[in-house]
Amino acid sequence: STSTISAITSSGNSNNKKNSQKQSINKSNENNQIITQNKTPPNSKPKSNTGRLRLLPPLQPTNEILSRAQRQTYNEIKDDTSIANIRRRTQKRGAQTIDSLCQKLCLPLKNTVQTYRREFRIMHPFEKVVMELTIQSRQKKDGLTLYKLLDDIHEGRKELLQLGKDWISKIK
């Protein structure tokens, strides 16, 4: 019986030792985490807002936009077999095709205009000056400003959507 008591106490001691080791490891991990979280260089500078010019997306070629829109429209639009009248089925497919094609053509234009306008608002002052100088030299060469060009793209996009709606109403 003394051997069982000594075995129980020794196993209890080993469990207590293991628990105390785990607790000390957890405490040291917590201390390390707190230390690493609070470590900041004394002379650290806030992250700058430069490099926006490199992040501007390149303009997509028109043939790429058109071919992607046609391919996606062709893959998405199918005949509605629930309509028995062939003429009405074709009208519905034509209207859906025009609508889908217009939307897929306008989406990249809208994203481009929004991205450029957003980036101009939040651009670093030095990069704004560089961009304005580039725009001014381009304006002297071509007579177009970037803001005018973005407005023209936006107006063309709206006109394309309106034309699509007009053609869809004529089909129906």
- How many Å is the Cα radius of gyration of the chain? 33
Long-range contacts of 84-92 (CB under 8 A, 24+ apart): 91/171, 91/172
DSSP assignment of 76-105 equals H----TT---HHHHHHHHHHHHHHHHHHHH
Q: Transcribe 147-162 into DSSP letters.
A: HHHHHHHHHHHHHHHH
- The 10s digit of each residue's pLDDT in 33-90 is 544 454 555 565 556 666 777 777 778 899 999 999 999 999 999 988 898 999 999 9
- How does pLDDT run across 119-162, given as a tens digit for each residue? 888 888 888 888 888 888 878 888 877 788 889 999 999 999 99
| Degrees, nearest 5: CA angle 139-141-145 | 20
Q: Quote the pLDDT of residue 27.
A: 54
By the 8 A CB rule, do 127 and 50 touch?
yes
pLDDT for 48 equals 60
Q: pTM for this one?
A: 0.61
